[in-house]
Structure 1
Amino acid sequence: MRIGYFLSCEEYTPAQLIEQAKAAQDAGFQSLWISDHFHPWNDEQGQSPFVWSIIGALSQVVSIPVTTAVTCPIIRMHPTVTAQAAATSAVLHDGRFVLGVGTGEALNEHINGDRWPFADERLEMLEESIEVMRELWKGDFVTHRGRHYQVDQARIYTLPAEPPKVYISAFGPKAIEVAARIGDGYVSTTPDGDLVGKFRDLGGGDKPVQGGFKGCWAPSEDEGVRIAHRLWPNSGVPGELSQVLPSPRHFEQASQLVTEDMMRESVVCGPDPAGHARQLQQYEKAGFDEVYIANMGPHYSELIDMYRSEFL
């Protein structure tokens, strides 16, 4: 199982993201994930740089593969624009760029005043958007009149030698079916072997499966819990709330229900590598091919150093 590093655009400045990427590659991490947000989950996280600018900058400082985890190409950005951004990113990274996509969250996608569709409609939109992007990556002029998207004589001129791979994030049965049928790979943040099995059985076969989790390195477990609870209590918000809440302040309100003890149970906190080993083993046992670790808080250098010495 490959181990990669997860860059959290919600929490870190562009300079810190580039610093982490360089350090991760030097430490032996084999690839990178990077999140795509317009807003952070809450004001305490405090950042949200434009992911495509960061991906371009990464191409100048690292040579390991980069995957968006994940981009939503259905509302905030039209699939034609996402297709162009992904194509340029693949050129910059010499083909080592993967477009990870999903159906997104209202937090990021409502900003232009568009209606926030229900999950089934968003999944339908995602499938059509992937169709549009793949047509554009063929290099010809594309005119498309679909249920959700219109394209009028569009052509992408800057293209990689091979079209970008599209990995699909999925949690429910309908999304798993779509991911298996049209995706080049599968993305999840849950070490669920049943979901991986369904993906493979429904047509995913031996396509790559990527997973990821967050930890919080700190000098002690208690300090790590406090940092995680201050910055990422939204990770304890249950069910579909993460998809439908429209702003950081709504996440802050919902996160008031999340306690430090809940964070202690759900996030690996502190300096002990044993908790990270258990997390990695869960993903390996579930059948993941790649797993990505993100840090919460200021001690990302220490987490990277721990992985260098203990796992890489």
Structure 2
Amino acid sequence: MVNIGYTMMTEQAGPRQLVDHVVHAEDVGFGFSVTSDHAFPWLRSQGHSPYAWSVLGAAARATSEIPLMTYVTCPTMRYHPAVVAQKAATLQLLSEGRFRLGLGSGENLNEHIVGPWPAADVRLGMLREAVEIIRELFRGEHVSRRGGYFTVESARLWDLPEESPPIGVAVSGSRSCELAGELADLLIAVEPERGLVDAFDRAGGTGKPRIGQLPICYDTDRERAVERAHDQFRWFAGGWKVNSELPHPDAFEAATRFVEPEGVAESIPCGDDPEAVARAVQEFADAGFTDVALVQIGGDTQHDFLEWAGDKLLPELRAV
């Protein structure tokens, strides 16, 4: 059975609302939650981007059972890896062991605010070094190093949980799969591609969790759902290789100006049919994923979505 999660999308709601949403998600029975970590929304129509780590801290105290996770944090530019390690250890303590640290090589959209956006191979090298630093700090070590990308001077975490947060790495190709299989405790991906899972397994990931993410747009009026998905989520059609390079919401507006509403609806389940969502989740299951986090598109639609999810959607998905 695939474990079904809920996504706190920081791009489409404010911080207090996001915490309310995850409390509601816990109440209706979602198995885990994930949180995006951005400096900008992809499109201006989404309209938000609060600091994810403050939201997570509040969510850790407002909930009692639902696991929390970054999906994903880039530990290389906006945040130094030593700072990420401290934040993650603190979240693990606040949540009493419910936190998982999802890491990725980042997007220009968010990381450009602190400097030039490096090439893909450099970003992957930075991520590898960052994961190594975080692992050392999680072990309680005094860490000093001058690596290829980062300097750490006598760092140590003074508040460490008994169990370190599991580390996930987001993948999009063979090299990132190799890194994830070698260094991570779980795989993160946004597409149900069997090849990513197989590459992860070959690099040492066999038996580890694989977490996917699926955007949907619930509404009792399908036409309204399609319109909202097009308005706020048409950037999704660009694919990771394009989306990671664009620097600003206006660039996403320009890149998606020819995307049609029905084209969005072909890749995102829209409406109120639980079976349509189940079919999309099944694609992840067939590709070898163990967990799928749902994204409900539209910050002001979360209450109605969560009520529907608890009543109709989750019972349907438990059969997948």
Q: Which band: TM-score by shorter chain?
A: over 0.9
Q: Name segments (4+ residues, structure 1) moved above 3 Å.
A: none
Runs (5+) with no aligned partner, structure 2 = 316-320
Give the structure 1 partner of residue 99 of structure 2.
Answer: 97
RMSD: 1.2
Contact 1:191 1:286 in 2 (8 A): yes
Contact 2:68 2:100 in 1 (8 A): yes
Distance 1:158 1:169 in 2: 27
Q: State the 1:197 CA deviation.
A: 2.0
Distance 2:162 2:118 in 1: 35
Give the structure 1 partner of residue 49 of structure 2.
Answer: 48
Give the structure 1 partner of residue 113 of structure 2.
Answer: 111
Contact 2:38 2:110 in 1 (8 A): yes
Runs (5+) with no aligned partner, structure 1 = none
Which runs of structure 2 are paired with 1:202-241 in the superposition (5 Å)? Answer: 202-238=203-239, 240-241=241-242
Q: State the 1:41 CA deviation.
A: 0.6
Q: State the 1:164 CA deviation.
A: 1.5
Q: State the 1:162 CA deviation.
A: 1.6
Distance 1:220 1:15 in 2: 27
Give the structure 2 partner of residue 22 of structure 1.
Answer: 23
Instruction: Give secondary structure in 2 for the equivalent of 1:294.
Output: strand
- TM-score, L = length of structure 1: 0.97
Is 1:147 matched with 2:151? no
Is 1:282 matched with 2:290? no
Contact 2:34 2:70 in 1 (8 A): yes
Q: Deviations over 1:12-57 (max 9, x none)?
A: 1112211110111111101101100011112111100101100100
Q: 2:73 aligns with which of 71, 74, 77?
A: 71
Q: State the 1:240 CA deviation.
A: 2.0
Instruction: Give secondary structure in 2 for the equivalent of 1:210.
Output: strand
Q: Deviations over 1:234-261 (max 9, x none)?
A: 1112452211111111111112121112
Question: Which residue type is aligned with residue 2 of structure 1?
Answer: N
Contact 2:222 2:271 in 1 (8 A): yes
Instruction: Give secondary structure in 1 for the equivalent of 2:62.
Output: coil
Distance 1:267 1:281 in 2: 14
Question: Which residue type is aligned with residue 162 of structure 1?
Answer: E
